[in-house]
Amino acid sequence: MNTLDLAYAAAAAVLVPVWARKARGGWAQRFGLRVGVRGRDRTRPRLLIHAVSVGETNTLRALVPMLREHADVIVSATTDTGLARATALFGPESVVRFPLDFSGAVERFLDAVDPDAVALVELEVWPNFVAQCAQRGIPVAVINGRLSAKSLTNYQRVRRLVSPTFARLSLAAVQDEPYAARFVALGTPARHVRVTGTMKWDSAELESSVLGADELAAAMGIDRSRPLVVAGSTAEGEEALVNEALRAMPEVQLLCAPRKPERFDEAARALPGCVRRSGGSRVSGASRFLLDTIGELRAAYSLADVVVVGRTFAPRRGSDPIEPVALGRATIMGPDYRNFETVTAALRDAGALMICERDQLAGALRDLLNDPARREAMARAGRACVESHRGATRRHAQMLGDLVKSAFARGTKRA
């Protein structure tokens, strides 16, 4: 046990009332026990890619198949929803739970997985994990990297503690120039930083319909002849906000999909009389629907006339707008999209989405629902914007392929 472990233990003890509110499983895996990883083929390099939750996991949809041509790829996630999504995308034999950053848990996890190289999606630079990788000669990369101005300020308060971690990164492939400057400011050597754009453009599929959408509509009783607004990845208060914004439009149906499963019951209370997807029974004539399942949001988006992106009207720093735009859906966002500034700016400038304040939402919804030509123009502009920004995934695949093959060759020589 090191000093950092003691600090983690003290923080965990103080924060027991917070993390104990949510039921969590997989404790053996969180402590690096019974990792459940498949045995490795010693003739091929092994790459571990860590994604925290659903959003980061979805980013890997196109990348993992590219990398599998050259390496054995293991995907890890932290949250239960992230693990479920990774398992659906890549198969249970390729997915493990990422450990807590206690040195013993990290050591057991690395012993079990035995990667030649590691890629961390967006950030996730845990000090014990990165330090132990460095001790073992395992290069660590950040991919699709982003580092907000707020995060930079927070990290700079403890710069002495975090700068050795950032300095150990073998590669930081980041989404834009401001992110690149922030990684360098925290200690990552400038020669290790590359601006690649975001892989989220590549993970979006340019389609109008989605497999399972018709079944979803039929199962919930959604009337395909009436307008439908889908509010996706919603946070506290946003279901009630959109519901109120549609009060003067009784012909319009509303489907809300909360970001976090633990909010499903709260969201249902904000939508009185709503049909819940988990209920398993169709209710004729309903106009309010709750998607309280995981993995069906994309299908719901494809049913929408207008999409409202959640966590943008609440102080939650936003959600990714690319998926509904790529599906050709007119999309509205609120004023807080700090985690997706570059993507949002590109789509806004292309005329592919609207940004409005809370008190403007009713008007924005009414205008778009009453103007099919404008919705179609937004759809065309959005798809063209997505297409023009593709390519980051292939760039990441090339860099990671080179990184893991080089590390594997060094390890073979040492052996």
In whole angstroms, give the CA distance from residue 35 to residue 48.
13
What CA–CA distance (Å, rounded) separates 283 from 219?
9
Please identify which of the residues 56, 124, 238, 341 carries the catalytic annotation.
56
In whole numbers, what is the pLDDT of the chain averaged over residues? 94
Pinpoint the alpha helices (H) of 246-355.
264-270, 297-303, 322-326, 341-349
For residue 288, the surrounding DSSP H or E stretch is: strand 288-290
- Mean pLDDT in residue range 5-15: 83
Domains of the chain: 20-198+391-407 (3.40.50.11720), 213-388 (3.40.50.2000)
Backbone angles phi, psi at 96, to 5 degrees: -135, 165
Each residue of 258-291: pLDDT tens digit?
A: 999 999 999 999 999 999 999 866 667 899 999 9
Average pLDDT over residues 404-409: 96
Going by C-alpha positions, the residue among 54, 51, 55, 39 that lies closest to residue 75 is 51
pLDDT band at residue 23 under the 50/70/90 scheme: low
Average pLDDT over residues 123-133: 96
The share of the chain scoring above pLDDT 90, in percent, equals: 84
In one-letter notation, the amino acid at residue 260 is K
pTM of the shown model: 0.86
- Examine the pLDDT at 239 and tell me if it is beyond 90: yes
Q: What angle do CA 157, 158, 163 make, to 5 degrees?
A: 120
Concerning whether 56 is annotated as a catalytic residue, the answer is yes
